[in-house]
Amino acid sequence: MENKLKILLTGATGGIGISICKRLAEINCELILLYRNENDEFTNLLNILNEKKIQTHKYKCDFLVDNDLNSVLNDIKTKHDKIDVLINNSASILVLPFLMTSIKKAKDIFQINYFSVLKITQEISKKMIKAKSGNIINICSTSGIENDEGRIAYSNSKAALISFGCSLSKELKNFNIRVNNIAPGLVNTKMLHDNTNVKILDEVKKKISLNRFAEPDEIAKIVLFLISDQSSYINGQTLRIDGGM
């Protein structure tokens, strides 16, 4: 990759987001990072990016606050003429039985996992259409395919995101813009362990052919592959990365 790629990544402070950034630091790129809350891992990441001389622009943004997202998108549109790659990675999870899932909580999950993605993608894809080139990658979940028990709002939002990506690939095909989804299974992140009972994790692990959860870097390597020319004929696909669930 000789030309510098300008890449926008949401959810930059999560386990998968941090790993994606570390992999992106291997290529010639400029990063625009959106995140909700800073943490020590993110601070360390910024130091790594600085050492590798990766130009980085960071935006703190709460997707549940419309003014936050509108302000960030306006700033990005003004300061960045071209964006080559959009990685929609932000996500929030809700683990509750259906009868305990309020409409408010379900709407919040959809706002973060789906509607914010639509809004960001609409704005960024306009730049890609103008450039007649682009690459959009949505980090989804196998939960959007198999609809996990106790995660109706989360699973439904990810199912909507998968459908969105497949449909969008058809709408943008004439502008040399590829759109693909990555659907990880269980990934060894803080979000997983904070929201899933240990007994359930042990039971699920036994059903995975590789008998382990994915590491965030294993998802990041697939992102890097989809950005590269090696994946130039892959479009409108949902790649399951689940260890053989």
Chain segment 70-90, per-residue pLDDT in tens: 999 999 999 999 999 999 999
**Structure tokens of 196?**
């899933």
Q: Under CATH, domain 5-240 is a member of which superfamily?
A: NAD(P)-binding Rossmann-like Domain (3.40.50.720)
Which residues of the chain have a pLDDT value below 50? Answer: 1
Note whether 182 and 214 are within 8 A (CB).
no
CA dist 85 and 88 (Å) reads 10
Residue 2 has a pLDDT of 55
Q: Check if 59 is active-site.
A: no
Selected catalytic residue, list 59, 114, 154, 233: 154
**Nearest alpha carbon to residue 1 among 159, 228, 197, 243:** 228
Q: Where are the domains of the chain?
A: 5-240
Residue 1 has a pLDDT of 42
CA dist 166 and 227 (Å) reads 17
Q: Kindly report the pTM of this predicted structure.
A: 0.95
Packing angle of the helix pair 15-24, 216-227 (nearest 10 deg): 50
CA dist 53 and 113 (Å) reads 31
**Structure tokens of 227?**
């950005």
Residue 198 has a pLDDT of 85
